[in-house]
Structure 1
Amino acid sequence: MAAPAQQPLPFQFQFLAGAVAGVTEILCMYPLDVVKTRAQINTGASMGIVESFKTIIAKEGPATLYRGIAAPILVEAPKRATKFAANEQYTALYKKMFGLEKVTQSLAIATGVSAGVTEAMLIVPFELVKIRMQDPLNASKYTGTMDALSKIIKQEGPFALYNGLEATMWRHAIWNGGYFGTIFMIKDLLPKAESKNEQLRNNFIAGTVGGTFGTMLNNPLDVVKSRIQSATGDGPKKYNWSLPSLALIAKEEGMATLYRGFTAKVLRLGPGGGVLLVVFESVSNFLRKNFMDQQ
């Protein structure tokens, strides 16, 4: 006899599980994000990951690898919570809308894209502050996250915090669609888990492959987003909208430039995607067992 369908978590539990997963991932992987951003906004010769780490530590100190982390930490809980909770909510909505009894890969991709757009609208100001803090040209300009935030608003206006919104929406829609769509496919291919450890293994493998594939798809949009959000001042901006910026970067610097920072990013979001899924599923199962089963 088939096992009964697992009862969906209430929104507040989905939110909590996503928050714990997100903060865990960023604390583990943030230095790679710094290296990735530096590579993407640099228009000169690029360095490898090891060389980048050595250079940053030697010239600016190891603490620089966590410069700007306050902004993503502040948004990480609602960001990751929104990613997973929105994905669960869109799944329920689309299943009802299209009369589906179970999730298909097409549905997983559609819910991932929808969750990505929702997530992007929330995080843009935090991403912009983070990018400004990670840019070495701003090392003496901002003393901290709140100083960066106040100076951006004062010098460029509050709407400057939403520079790169369109590129961010593209970046997150593509990554989440690839991530959740791949997770569905990989879980279907893996042997059925017979134990808790095997379930953790399957989640880590599926999340890692999903994170890697999502990164392969969205890296060019991430380069564009970093370029748009790193630009300061009130004058004309070289990069504004995603598609013209993609074409301009490819024309001036070559197609390979659109994959600047890819290695650092995939090292973060490949295993990071595995960490996200494992922690999210583990916290979800804990909440379901200890709070919902008692009701």
Structure 2
Amino acid sequence: MVAAGGANSDISLPGTFASSAFAACFAEICTIPLDTAKVRLQLQKSAASGDVISLPKYKGMLGTVSTIAKEEGLAALWKGIVPGLHRQCLFGGLRIGLYEPVKNLYVGKDYVGDVPLSKKILAGLTTGALGILVANPTDLVKVRLQAEGKLPPGAPRRYSGALNAYSTIVRQEGFGALWTGVGPNVARNAIINAAELASYDQVKQSILKIPGFTDNVLTHLLSGLGAGFFAVCIGSPVDVVKSRMMGDSAYKSTFDCFVKTLRNDGPLAFYKGFIPNFGRLGSWNVIMFLTLEQAKKFVRELEKPASN
């Protein structure tokens, strides 16, 4: 995905898109249990009973994962995997696959040398926003499925599956409801995408200038960890607002959700699920970038004859 130094990509756009979608889907499968834990923690609100605040059901990443597995079964940790894969094919393919072409557009196709960090950030913001505008319905369904916990005996589930969720939402709430939370979702994904791709690009570029480092797995691993850390630090508040808006239809707008969350749960609520979020995004980025680099290497070999 990221060519150290220069802006030009060495594989075709379809090859980049396919590599990006594959890498994003593989990372999604590996890390969605942590994402499910993150969503449950973010949707958990302070529950008061008289003057006493009841203890939260979910505590910490491992505690939440354990509670979900114990109460609902191990498979519940992969709730939302189908729309999650829909999302990664669309969003992952677009945001990562278009990053190099958009970066080239901003610096010019004949640009030589290290691309300025500002251009990398701008390219990440652009592709993140465009990608999620297309993929928002998949994100909505994924969050709705992940948010549903253990139900009382005999109580029907809200949705029987991903396809049923899409159709039910359209039937009951209207077609436009598929873009519920699109405001904070665009903000979140544009910011996180810029943090991930620009930081990976920048960290990798910096590491490769250190004597003894080459474009290998260790470099990809360190760059991926850096990308995940910056993404969580910057994107956590909008991620919480996005999850709450998608998981609970009581909020009237992004601002309403922000104000109610701040008033009812305090400023630290915007960093609820920070550890599972970092566990999720950190591991997701490492897996995705490692897979992406290998997938691009494979595609590069396939495309070699065509370029000779």
Q: Same fold (TM over 0.5)?
A: yes
1:163 aligns with 2:184: no
Q: Deviation per CA, 1:134-189, whole angstroms, max 9, x where unpaired?
A: 11258622111122222111111111110011111000111011112212331233
1:37 matched to which residue of 2?
39
Query: What is the CA–CA distance in structure 2 between the aligned matches of 1:278 and 1:261, rounded to whole Å?
Result: 25
Match for residue 240 of structure 1 among 236, 253, 272: 253
1:47 aligns with 2:49: no
- Superposed, 1:121-200 pairs within 5 Å as 121-136=133-148, 140-192=157-209, 199-200=216-217
1:110 aligns with 2:127: no
| CA displacement at 1:247 relative to structure 2 | 3.4
| CA displacement at 1:192 relative to structure 2 | 4.8
Query: What is the CA–CA distance in structure 1 between the aligned matches of 2:14 and 2:6, rounded to whole Å?
Result: 23
Spell out structure 1 runs of 4+ moving beyond 2 A: 3-8, 99-102, 136-139, 191-198, 243-248, 292-295
The letter for the 1-side match of 2:216 is: Q
Percent sequence identity over matched residues?
A: 25
Query: What is the CA–CA distance in structure 1 between the aligned matches of 2:212 and 2:293, rounded to whole Å?
Result: 14
Query: What is the CA–CA distance in structure 2 between the aligned matches of 1:253 and 1:24, rounded to whole Å?
Result: 35
Q: Deviation per CA, 1:96-142, whole angstroms, max 9, x where unpaired?
A: 18x74341211111111111101111211011111111112586221
1:282–1:196: structure 2 CA closer, same or farther, 3 Å change rule? farther
The letter for the 1-side match of 2:289 is: L
Q: Tell me which moved more, 190-199 or 64-73.
A: 190-199
The total of aligned residue pairs comes to 287
Gaps of 5+ in 2: 47-55, 152-156
1:214 matched to which residue of 2?
231
1:57 aligns with 2:59: no
Check the 8 A contact 2:7/2:103 in 1, yes or no.
no
Check the 8 A contact 1:193/1:199 in 2, yes or no.
no
> What's the TM-score once normalised by structure 1's chain length?
0.89
Query: What is the CA–CA distance in structure 1 between the aligned matches of 2:163 and 2:23, rounded to whole Å?
Result: 25
Q: Provide the secondary structure at the position in 2 that maps to 1:18.
A: helix
| CA displacement at 1:244 relative to structure 2 | 4.5
> What's the TM-score once normalised by structure 2's chain length?
0.86
Query: What is the CA–CA distance in structure 2 between the aligned matches of 1:85 and 1:72, rounded to whole Å?
Result: 18
1:272 aligns with 2:284: yes
Query: What is the CA–CA distance in structure 1 between the aligned matches of 2:104 and 2:304, rounded to whole Å?
Result: 18
| CA displacement at 1:294 relative to structure 2 | 4.5
1:127–1:7: structure 2 CA closer, same or farther, 3 Å change rule? closer
Query: What is the CA–CA distance in structure 2 between the aligned matches of 1:133 and 1:94, rounded to whole Å?
Result: 38
1:23 matched to which residue of 2?
25
The letter for the 2-side match of 1:101 is: V
Q: Deviation per CA, 1:182-207, whole angstroms, max 9, x where unpaired?
A: 12331233255899986121112111
Match for residue 273 of structure 2 among 224, 247, 261: 261
Check the 8 A contact 2:262/2:269 in 1, yes or no.
yes
1:194–1:122: structure 2 CA closer, same or farther, 3 Å change rule? farther
Q: Provide the secondary structure at the position in 1 that maps to 2:108.
A: helix
Q: Provide the secondary structure at the position in 2 that maps to 1:123.
A: helix
Q: Tell me which moved more, 17-26 or 243-252.
A: 243-252
Gaps of 5+ in 1: none
Query: What is the CA–CA distance in structure 1 between the aligned matches of 2:197 and 2:44, rounded to whole Å?
Result: 31
1:199–1:12: structure 2 CA closer, same or farther, 3 Å change rule? same
Q: Greater helix percent: which structure?
A: 1
Query: What is the CA–CA distance in structure 2 between the aligned matches of 1:87 and 1:4, rounded to whole Å?
Result: 13
- Superposed, 1:216-231 pairs within 5 Å as 216-231=233-248
Query: What is the CA–CA distance in structure 2 between the aligned matches of 1:110 and 1:6, rounded to whole Å?
Result: 16
